[in-house]
Amino acid sequence: MPDKAPSASGFQFELTGGTPCFDFANTVDSRCAPKQRVDNLTGFTALTSWARQSGVVSARKASELTRAAKEQSDAAGRVFRKAVELRETIYRVFSVIAGGGRPSEQDLLLLGSYAQEAFSHMHLIAGGSGFEWSLDQRSRDSLMTLLWPIANSAVDLLVCGDLAKVRECAADNCGWLFMDRSRNQSRRWCDMKICGNREKVRRHRRAVSGTQATT
């Protein structure tokens, strides 16, 4: 969870979650500390920028959708609100799983509805070396195409991913999600350089003040 000032354009998102749905959930800094919380998903432009940086859409597609959004500002606003709803649902579902619990039925229904919508716009095609799902022609210009790969990423992880590797950063204020792919399954921080080091400093201060209190 880095210290950065958000801006709609030129902002570099951190992509340390190990899966697009977690990188998307991690577009909020200090999620668990209401007074420090910073939402880096500031609007449709930031959403498009995140999608391009994370690779869920190509740079060309991102430019096309940015142009389309300027001509459909109401639709862009609706898609942005849905993006935030999807992101918060992903966070709740996987935060509960990281803590060993079961997500609510309501959140699963909501997440499933995004994936169902995505699936209804796909068709099966023969690719170069096999078969693949592809967006149907009439849906390619829809602003919602930004959200469908994110929803698919979350549902794929739920249905066939390794949920034992789902973690939430151990820092009190952070709330970032990640896949723990460390060899001994011991990763505790979203990023050792940021939250891990802060915690070390905190522990050191506590230890020093404890020593002083007893002398």
| Nearest approach, Cβ of residue 215 and Zn ion (Å) | 33
Could you tell me which stretch among 91-99, 111-119, 155-163, 186-194 binds Zn ion (CB under 5 A)?
186-194
Could you tell me which stretch among 60-68, 69-77, 105-113, 193-201 binds Zn ion (CB under 5 A)?
193-201
What is the b/e burial string over 74-91, where b = at least 16 CB atoms within 10 angstroms of the residue's CB?
eebeebbebbeebbebbb
Nearer to Zn ion, 80 or 178 (CB): 178
| Nearest approach, Cβ of residue 203 and Zn ion (Å) | 15
Would you count residue 190 as binding Zn ion (CB under 5 A)? yes
Name which of 9, 13, 113 is nearest 54 in CA terms. Answer: 13
| Nearest approach, Cβ of residue 38 and Zn ion (Å) | 13
| Nearest approach, Cβ of residue 199 and Zn ion (Å) | 9
Q: Pattern of binders to Zn ion over 1-20, x per CB under 5 A? A: x-------------------
Helix axes 148-160, 105-119, angle to 10 degrees: 120
Could you tell me which stretch among 22-30, 34-42, 54-62, 192-200 binds Zn ion (CB under 5 A)?
192-200
Would you count residue 56 as binding Zn ion (CB under 5 A)? no
What is the b/e burial string over 150-175, where b = at least 16 CB atoms within 10 angstroms of the residue's CB?
bbbbbbebbeebeeebbbbbebebbb
Contact between residue 146 and residue 139 where contact means Cβ atoms under 8 Å apart: no
Angle CA(165)–CA(85)–CA(103) in degrees, nearest 5? 40
Q: Which residue has the tokens 């190990």?
A: 18
Residues 159-178 that bind Zn ion (CB under 5 A): 169, 171, 174, 176
Contact between residue 166 and residue 97 where contact means Cβ atoms under 8 Å apart: yes
What is the b/e burial string over 18-31, where b = at least 16 CB atoms within 10 angstroms of the residue's CB?
bbbbbbbbbbbbbb
Nearer to Zn ion, 26 or 49 (CB): 26
Nearer to Zn ion, 125 or 170 (CB): 170
The footprint of Zn ion (CB under 5 A) covers 1, 169, 171, 174, 176, 190, 195
